[in-house]
Amino acid sequence: MNKFFISGSPHIQGEESTKKIMYGVVIAMIPTMLFSIYFFGVDAIRVFLIAIVASLFFEWIIQKYLIKGALTINDGSALVTAILLALNLPSNLPTWMIIIGALVAIGMAKMSFGGLGKNVFNPALVARVFLLVSFPVEMTSWPKPSPITEGLADVVTGPTPLGIVKEGLGANKTMSELAPEIPSYTQGLMGDMGGSMGEVSAIALILGGVYMMWKKIITWHIPVSMLLTVAIFSGIFWGVDPEHYADPVFHMLTGGMLLGAIFMATDMVSSPMTKSGQLVYGFGIGLLTILIRMWGAYPEGVSFAILIMNAVVPLINRGFKPKRFGVNPGVALNK
Amino acid sequence: MGILRTFALGGIHPAENKLSSNAPIETLPVPKQAIVPLGQNLGAPSKPIVKKGDEVKVGQLIAEAGGFISTNIHSPVSGKVLKIDNAIDGSGYKRPCIIINTTEDEWADGIDTSKDIVSEITLESKEIIEKIKNAGIVGLGGATFPTYVKLMPPTGKIAEYLIINGVECEPYLTADHRMMLEMGQEIIIGIRILMKALNVKKAFIGIENNKPDAISHLNELLKGSDDIEVQPLKVQYPQGGEKQLIKASVNREVPSGKLPIEVGCVVQNVGTAFAVYEAVQKNKPLIERVVTVTGKAVKKPSNFMVRIGTQISELIDAAEGLPEDTGKIIGGGPMMGKAITSLEIPVVKGTSGILLMKKDESSRNVEGPCIRCSKCTYVCPMGLEPFLLSKAAKLGNYEMAENEAIMDCIECGSCQYGCPSAIPLLDYLRLGKLKVGQILRNRNNK
Amino acid sequence: MDNIIIIAISALGGLGLIMAIILYFIANKFKVFEDPKIDEVEEALPSANCGGCGFPGCRAYAEATVVSAKEKGNLDGLNCPVGGNDVSQEVGKILGLEVEAKDPMIAVIRCNGSRTNSPEKVSYEGATSCAFAHALYSGEGGCMHGCLGLGDCVDSCDFEAIHMNPETGLPEVNNKCTACNACVIACPRDIIELRKRGPKDKRIFVSCINQEKGAPAKKNCAVACIGCTKCQKECKFDAITITSFLAYIDFDKCTLCRKCVDVCPTNAIHEINFKPRKPRPEKPKASAPVGDKSVTRKPVEKPAGDAPKAAPVADTPKKESATTEKTIENKDNKE
């Protein structure tokens, strides 16, 4: 006789799967990857390939020999981490540093916590910050973008717009004096400026974000609350003293702001579980970013802000519960 | 009409698959043998009052209520009581059943078996409730809560609205849909009877917008009267849940841990309304019901009017047989129904459908690690955090589960449906509810 | 210089002195009197904090014994299952009481519905929890009393004394069992019972709790107790009672004569840790197998000394029907 299955309800399952989500994120990152290859040339392809191969290799070897669990390299999470890591690196980073980055991301930030779903911090960001602190020179000499279409010229390195502003303001210059050095809004939007591979092109990042929201991989709460906070705070300072503070749009378009808001802060594993919690989380990241950018030692603060807020997530999860049905009914009850 | 009403929190929209919505209700022949379980309702099982060898007629009382929340059971067939013995029922366990061998179809006295519609309501509220109680009517949506209990609000509570559940938000099931189309008049009289019993002035019939024919048909029948209003609702699971339906219909939230009467509402299923009509106007106790037999591989998805106690194998035969690659049989809908272990189990008052799933649909996906995507939290209609509760239940932290309001869970399964890692969230939630329920009972007994 | 040192010493010393005085008074004021015997008793307990005694931890049990000794002058109803006789004697000595020696107990699995004895009719998917499965359905083999095989008992054991046998799908108890009662509570079907360990770990019990009539019970499981009363008639010590088609052997009355094992037509009665019987050709009836239950049964492995005798097991069905429990226990004995 046929053997029937027995299980508790529900007996049907939705279309969603972890794999689909992860590859959805990968698809969302494709525009950004294409733009970075366009601007940084063959070197960008090298960084991507090495990050991906190294990450998958570490994931495989740790899963097989240390955790001894089922192989998980197919679920796409290591791929997402690898691409995010690559997007966070300058395109001229030496190969061995990228491999160290992949080891830190997969081995230290992800697998040592127990693998997918258990890490407290965003693996790609941990690796980026690790590299930034360990190799400050290599990590902060960004090549100037030179589109492939313009031929393979020698790579010229230079600071990011944020670095220019930070140093300029530090040297008692005013914003109007710095204006010729920093890229225009159109340049910022397209990505024609110095920076890590994935940071530069705002338009590609936004495209990816819209795709993920359409596919319901992320919700609007984290990016919007984070960017809004940045806009409001930088706007206040800019409004008070436009000569000594950069304007909000500049803050939005430069550095890792959009990459962080769309791809890093929204990482499911390390972000809060409830929508109200996500708003608070986004607010915290935005505030910390602005504080670090304006008064911190580093010109860029998104990675640090996200990592700090990652650590606060368990607290946010405790404090911000979803609105429960029937707890504050707010209608006239039966007399 | 503007934006359609629905409930506020969470909800999902699984594929509807209403394969049998165009199949008219067929009356199945009386079964050769009826297996009538004694525990057909939520609450205490009934006590048999017949014994082996007794001759019974259709509609004759064979078991009476065994407690306050319990119901009478009537014989669905006429014949001889073969035995009162344990037989397997929908729970998968052997439970006491009355097994009756059919001889002929002879009805008990006083039952009006004609099809004529009696629309005049002559009885008073008390008498109506008494009649409903005697007829053994329970909620036919699946919960099988004795109807008469709902019609007697506790002292101090007054019902304002009667809400009729014609939502049928479960995928596949179409029994209520067909009843609204074919028995609209009877249902409306049944609603008026319930309104009289409860002494309410206004009733709503909540129907999801995927049944436009039912909505227009009932609107047609209700032309010129304003005591009953048909409310088209946005398609959203689990709208058929009492609390969700009240929120959608009259925008009131039943407080956590309380009953709908707390906000002045009583919810009844359309099938129940029909049963009430038959009991009050025709003296006919609850001995048959409409059951949907459906599934992607079923040759003839149908809706059958069957006697209680018919074995489901007979229903499946009437739907042109059990498909080759059936992997799972479900009593009820795919979201909240119960998997059935055997084809021998009988139809009971709470059986709203028999769903035959193909092999490839029946097996669950492989469970993966939780990626904390919080989709379960977004879709929970009760605003709970299923990932947290299931983890707490799995690890035996029942105190935490209780504090996080596990008892509010309505077991709709939305969380598990949407889980990308295919974690059996609801299994663990049920386990947690079971254990926390025990703890609460122990505490209350002390 | 000297001055500073003196000031520092006197300031800190003085502060310390003042604190000490305050602490002294506070400690005196809030002193809670505790019987020093509680500490002594606690010292004598195994400190497993398993809760087997019914108290939350060893300390609470120690308090209860002291109170009971003081108020009632005995230790009735207080029993540390883990410590057994030695500990209760010790506790008695501390409290100045005579404690009666109790027989050591062990958990016994009263179900033998293995995959071969009770073949799967449906297949279960879902949470690995017996409590949940118990609420859901009757079991893969169809027996509504039998073991569900999802290991709630294994999870409940703090002593690694109970394991699932993947071959039979049934739990097995080894000699680490302390009779703490945790598995008995955990089992939703009350299959596990604490029974006397017996001399040299020899014990006889009915390995079935099915209360159905013979035919339906037999339909689902080849080794079900069918309530045929043969064992009851055979027993000369009134040790066997039959209630609702189920035999039960009272271990206080049982003399381990093994006669009931012989007469049981379904091999539902198990003997454990007995020497294999000599072949009895004059009574072939006793060995007539009733259905083939020997597929997963390993031959009895005997304590090291008698190992050679294990080979000629003529009377197989009876011995084999005892669960593989034996094997494990005997291995433990050897160690």
Q: Domain ranges in chain B?
A: 1-9+108-363, 375-445
Residues of chain B with pLDDT under 50: 1
C325 and C194 within one domain: yes
User: A8 to chain B, minimum CA–CA distance in Å?
Assistant: 6
Strands B55-56 and B288-294: unpaired
Neighbours of chain B (3+ CB pairs under 8 A): A, C
Which tens digit of pLDDT belongs to each residue from B60-111? Answer: 999 988 888 888 999 999 999 998 888 888 777 888 899 999 988 888 888 8
Name the more confident of B13 and A255.
B13
Instruction: Give percent above pLDDT 70 in chain C.
Output: 82
* Cα(B359)–Cα(C94) distance, integer angstroms: 66
Buried b (16+ CB within 10 A) or exposed e, B1-11: eeeebbbebbb
C152 and C84 within one domain: no
Tally of CA atoms within 13 A in the half-sphere of C6 that contains its CB: 3
CB contact under 8 A, B374 and A9: no
The total of structural domains in chain C comes to 2
B255: nearest CA partner in chain A: A326
Give the count of Cβ contacts less than 8 A between chain A and B: 180
Instruction: For chain C, give the mean pLDDT.
Output: 79
CB contact under 8 A, A12 and B328: no
C315 and C279 within one domain: yes
CB contact under 8 A, B430 and C138: no
Which residue in C115, C118, C123, C130 has the most chain A C-beta atoms within 10 A of its own C-beta, making it the best mutation to test that interface? C123
* Among candidate residues B180, B94, B385, the one with its CA nearest the CA of residue A275: B385
The predicted pLDDT at position C119 comes to 87
Which residue in A4, A7, A9, A13 has the most chain C C-beta atoms within 10 A of its own C-beta, making it the best mutation to test that interface? A7
Q: Which residues of B touch C126 (CB under 8 A)?
A: 364, 424, 427
Which tens digit of pLDDT belongs to each residue from C266-279? Answer: 889 988 888 877 66
- When CB atoms are compared, the residue of B92, B373, B427 closest to A268 is B373
Question: Per the domain annotation, does C31 fall within a domain?
Answer: no
What CATH number should be reported for the domain holding residue C54? 1.10.15
**Domain with C65 in it:** 36-95
Query: How many residues are recorded in chain A?
Result: 335
Query: Hunting for tokens 């204006």 — which residue is that?
Result: A179
Q: Which residues of C touch B (CB under 8 A)?
A: 121-122, 125-127, 129, 131-132, 135-138, 142, 144, 212, 216
C132 and C167 within one domain: yes
> Among C95, C114, C130, where does a domain finish?
C95
Q: Which residues of A touch B364 (CB under 8 A)?
A: 7, 13
* Cα(B327)–Cα(B110) distance, integer angstroms: 45
User: B249 to chain A, minimum CA–CA distance in Å?
Assistant: 14
Instruction: For chain A, give the mean pLDDT.
Output: 86
- When CB atoms are compared, the residue of B14, B262, B336 closest to A333 is B262
Q: Which residues of A touch C124 (CB under 8 A)?
A: 5-7
Strands B202-208 and B228-233: parallel
Measured N-to-C along each axis, helices A42-61 and A95-103 cross at an angle, to the nearest 10 degrees, of: 40
C293 and C186 within one domain: yes
CB contact under 8 A, C144 and B94: yes
Q: Which residues of B touch A7 (CB under 8 A)?
A: 328, 339, 364, 424, 427
Which tens digit of pLDDT belongs to each residue from A296-324? Answer: 888 888 999 999 999 999 999 998 988 88
- Integer-rounded Cα Rg, in Å, for chain A is 22
Question: Per the domain annotation, does C136 fall within a domain?
Answer: yes
Those residues whose C-beta lies under 8 Å from the C-beta of residue B287, and which sit 6 or more positions away, are: B58, B59, B74, B75, B76, B307, B308
| Element spanning C204, H or E | strand C203-206
The predicted pLDDT at position A154 comes to 55
Mean pLDDT of C272-291: 57
With 80 as the cut, is the pLDDT of residue C328 above it? no
Q: Which residues of B touch C132 (CB under 8 A)?
A: 427-428, 430-431, 434
C89 and C152 within one domain: no
- When CB atoms are compared, the residue of B93, B338, B424 closest to C126 is B424
Question: Per the domain annotation, does C8 fall within a domain?
Answer: no
Find the Cα–Cα–Cα–Cα dihedral C97, C103, C104, C110, rounded to 10°.
-140
The predicted pLDDT at position A221 comes to 93
C48 and C152 within one domain: no
Strands B47-48 and B61-64: antiparallel
C296 and C262 within one domain: yes
Question: Per the domain annotation, does C208 fall within a domain?
Answer: yes
Question: Per the domain annotation, does C26 fall within a domain?
Answer: no
CATH for B1-9+108-363? 3.40.50.11540
Mean pLDDT of C284-311: 40
C84 and C122 within one domain: no
The predicted pLDDT at position C211 comes to 87
User: C5 to chain A, minimum CA–CA distance in Å?
Assistant: 40
Predicted TM-score (pTM) of this structure: 0.84
Tally of CA atoms within 13 A in the half-sphere of C251 that contains its CB: 21
Which tens digit of pLDDT belongs to each residue from A65-87? Answer: 888 877 778 888 999 999 999 99
C190 and C91 within one domain: no
Which tens digit of pLDDT belongs to each residue from C71-124? Answer: 887 777 777 877 777 888 888 888 888 777 777 888 999 999 888 888 888 888
C267 and C201 within one domain: yes
C169 and C294 within one domain: yes
* Among candidate residues B30, B107, B27, B112, the one with its CA nearest the CA of residue B74: B107
